[in-house]
Structure 1
């Protein structure tokens, strides 16, 4: 499944995450987080898992995390995918 248009979900508030997704020819994930050193790998893994579950194989995904829980990040990614016209 490919992303058909640019979309976003979330906020820049504390304990939340802002997710941007847009069409691309390959999958690229960019993470900016106040806890990237400690949890960057976990955040990327969660994003990749949600994208895989939604059937997304190619997109540019930007994650701006402000200390969100993993469940929040997953929900924001799924919402952005659905808003972009992608997903199963």
Structure 2
């Protein structure tokens, strides 16, 4: 397990706070979603989060999302930023320790 973590967003209105953590192989993509519009858009939010994770090459990822009515473009941007931050943190740690 690489233990990559990343987060992006806020708890402000019309935003979403996304936190991701890479998991052991076989975990899959698990989403814990809290949303003020879950009844109407929960499936679409989950689909967007999953698609962004898969497109970035993640197959085993824990995603926690607290949505305050974010538009799909905001959800995509927050997920992409969380992924980039997780990768940057991992690269910084491995460079500093000399590991892979």
Q: Tell me the TM-score normalized by structure 2.
A: 0.79
Aligned mates of 2:4, 2:23 — CA distance in 1: 10
Name stretches of at least 5 consecutive residues in structure 1 with no aligned partner. Answer: none
Hey, what's the Cα distance between the residues in 2 that align with 1:23 and 1:55? 11
Residue of structure 1 equivalent to 2:57? 55
Name 2:18's counterpart in structure 1: 19
Unaligned 5+ residue runs, structure 2? 89-100
Question: Highest CA radius of gyration, 1 or 2?
Answer: 2
Aligned to 1:79: 81
Over the aligned positions, Cα root-mean-square deviation in angstroms equals: 1.6
- Give the number of aligned pairs: 85
1:31 aligns with 2:33: yes
Tell me if the contact between 2:6 and 2:85 (Cα under 8 Å) persists in the aligned partners: yes
Check conservation: 1:3, 1:59, Cα contact below 8 A. Answer: no
Contact 1:51 1:57 in 2 (8 A): yes
Task: Determine which structure has the larger helix proportion and give its number.
Answer: 2
